[in-house]
Amino acid sequence: MSGPVVGPLVVPVAGPVAGSVVSAPNLAGIELMRRGDRAGEERCVLVHGFGLRDAPWPDGVALVRQIHSDIVVDAGAEDADPEVIRKNEPICEGDALITDRPESLIGIKTADCVPILLADPATGAVGAVHAGWRGTAQHIVAGTVREMSARWGVRPENLRAAIGPAIGVCCYQVGVEVARRFGIECSGSVHLDLAKINHQQLVQMGVSNVWVSGECTFCSPLRFYSFRREREQAGRMLSYIGWQKHDGRAF
Ligand SMILES: [Zn+2]
């Protein structure tokens, strides 16, 4: 298990996750958290990571069939077949997953789109968001925070958020129609900063504790898949978050 991850650091996270071993490094941006300090409670530690190109996927991550929507799915409420989750198959359609259940990993897949992970130390609720330009235009990250608040009383000011590697403003050129969705009028094309727009949406929701990777998936072919660069050949990186049982000794 990794040591504490505090503040805007990029550190390797390695260790057993839900029955498999993540030996390749992932990126982590949220500080180490634990639950279950009271007597009789199950002790859990928060595990999370933004996948790299060659990072193996842990098993048992609840996923959704991503459709560039603003649909937020409560993984615990879906009553999904455990076998489907064990095989990392989608439990339904959507573009963000949330849960407040311990020992439940949720994740989203990206290759240029913005992956965002959320964790609330007060309630234990976590979220994983897939925000491409369509999801960003539909404020999916704000919708996810709102849903976590409505279901479990999550207070935005308590939330920790981490924005993972995505196609950067350096490489993300869009045309007139997409630009217009973000209130930008232009005659040719313009560069969009999707990570920054999602960051702004989080701040507008009252989430101020935000770590930003700042890495561009298009610029770093050895580290990341990029749909724009590799087209149909592009694989996907898994970003995941959740609580894992822990014996409490190795912090
Ligand atoms: Zn770039």
> In this predicted model, what pLDDT tens digit does every residue of 53-111 receive, in sequence order?
888 888 899 999 999 999 999 999 988 899 999 999 999 999 999 999 988 899 999 99
Give the phi and the psi of residue 192 in degrees, each rounded to 5: -105, 145
Q: How far is the CA of 110 from the centre of ligand 1 (A)?
A: 16
Q: Point out the least confidently predicted range of 8-22, 75-89, 98-112, 201-215.
A: 8-22
Q: How far is the CA of 169 from the centre of ligand 1 (A)?
A: 7
Q: How far is the CA of 51 from the centre of ligand 1 (A)?
A: 18
Q: How far is the CA of 132 from the centre of ligand 1 (A)?
A: 15
6 pLDDT exceeds 50? no
Question: Strands 61-65 and 105-110, how do they pair?
Answer: parallel
Q: How confident is the model at residue 26 (pLDDT cuts 50, 70, 90)?
A: low
Q: How far is the CA of 225 from the centre of ligand 1 (A)?
A: 12
Q: What share of the chain is helix, strand, coil (3-state, %, to 5)?
A: 20, 30, 50
Q: How far is the CA of 44 from the centre of ligand 1 (A)?
A: 37
Q: How far is the CA of 172 from the centre of ligand 1 (A)?
A: 7
Query: Exposed, middle or buried, 110 (CB in 10 Å: 0-12/13-18/19+)?
Result: buried
Please name the CATH architecture into which domain 11-245 falls: 4-Layer Sandwich (3.60)
Give the phi and the psi of residue 45 in degrees, each rounded to 5: -125, 145
Mean pLDDT on 192-197: 98
- Cα–Cα dist 35/209, whole Å: 19
User: What are the boundaries of each domain within the chain?
Assistant: 11-245
53 against 196, higher pLDDT: 196
What's the confidence (pLDDT) of residue 248?
Answer: 55
Helix (H, G, I), strand (E, B) or coil at 230: helix
- State CA 114 to chain mean position distance: 8
Q: How far is the CA of 38 from the centre of ligand 1 (A)?
A: 46
- Cβ distance 140 to 131 under 8 Å? yes
Mean pLDDT on 4-10: 29
- Cα–Cα dist 161/43, whole Å: 22
Q: What is the mean pLDDT of the chain?
A: 86
Q: How far is the CA of 16 from the centre of ligand 1 (A)?
A: 32
